[in-house]
Amino acid sequence: MKRDIPITQLMPGDVLLYRGRGLISDAIRFIDRSEVSHSGLFLGRYGEQGRTVGEAIREGVIRRELPKSIEHAEWVESRRLKEAPSSLDPVLERAAHYLKRGERYGFEQILLLAFLCITRNLAGSSVLGRLIRETLDAAAAFLLQLFNTGREPMICSEFVVRCYREALPGSVDLPVRAPGALRFGERGVPIGKNGG
């Protein structure tokens, strides 16, 4: 992923990584051992709305104007594929698909993800750690099946990853240590109020 993209040079398909403020953001970063707590997909101009971002938040998978999306972040970084395909239209079409369906936010996924991340940090040789992880993996599969209403619950990083993975297989690299968390290279220049 290319980094250090100024806010004025954002292009549709760019990935935004946010460091949020508050206890929930702090907890997400602590559990995931990451510098970021949220992600979104820059979608470009949309009608009268101006520059917009697709993201999964409490209200579900929605489109918001860029200033609204970043207003509560401590900082936001942007990422772009180093070797972008000739068109990111398939990624944007996949995002439009999820936005149109109005997917709900995956609250149960956040809880399970937290437990999975915590237990994955246990010693690799620990029999108890492996047993806990396998039990939570099974519980996750059961809960996802139980809550399946035809609408797919999604968390923020999953929305971004699925848009890329389903449109451009092999374009997104996920780390083993944190399922669903994005890895796009080193931290770049913030694009919040004073950056970019």
pLDDT at position 190, please? Answer: 37
Average pLDDT over residues 36-64: 90
Q: Which two tokens stand for residue 111?
A: 């809880």
Q: Considering the domain 7-105+155-167, what is its CATH architecture?
A: Alpha-Beta Complex (3.90)
What burial class does residue 82 get, using C-beta atoms within 10 Å of its C-beta: 0-12 exposed, 13-18 middle, 19+ buried? exposed
Which H or E run contains 17?
strand 15-20
Indicate yes or no: pTM above 0.75: no
Closest listed residue to residue 42, CA positions, set 80, 73, 4, 3: 80
What are the extents of the domains in the chain? 7-105+155-167
pLDDT given at position 179: 31
Burial of 108-136, coded b for 16+ CB within 10 Å and e otherwise, reads bbbebbebbbebbeeeeeeeeeeebbeeb
10 or 118: which leads in pLDDT: 10
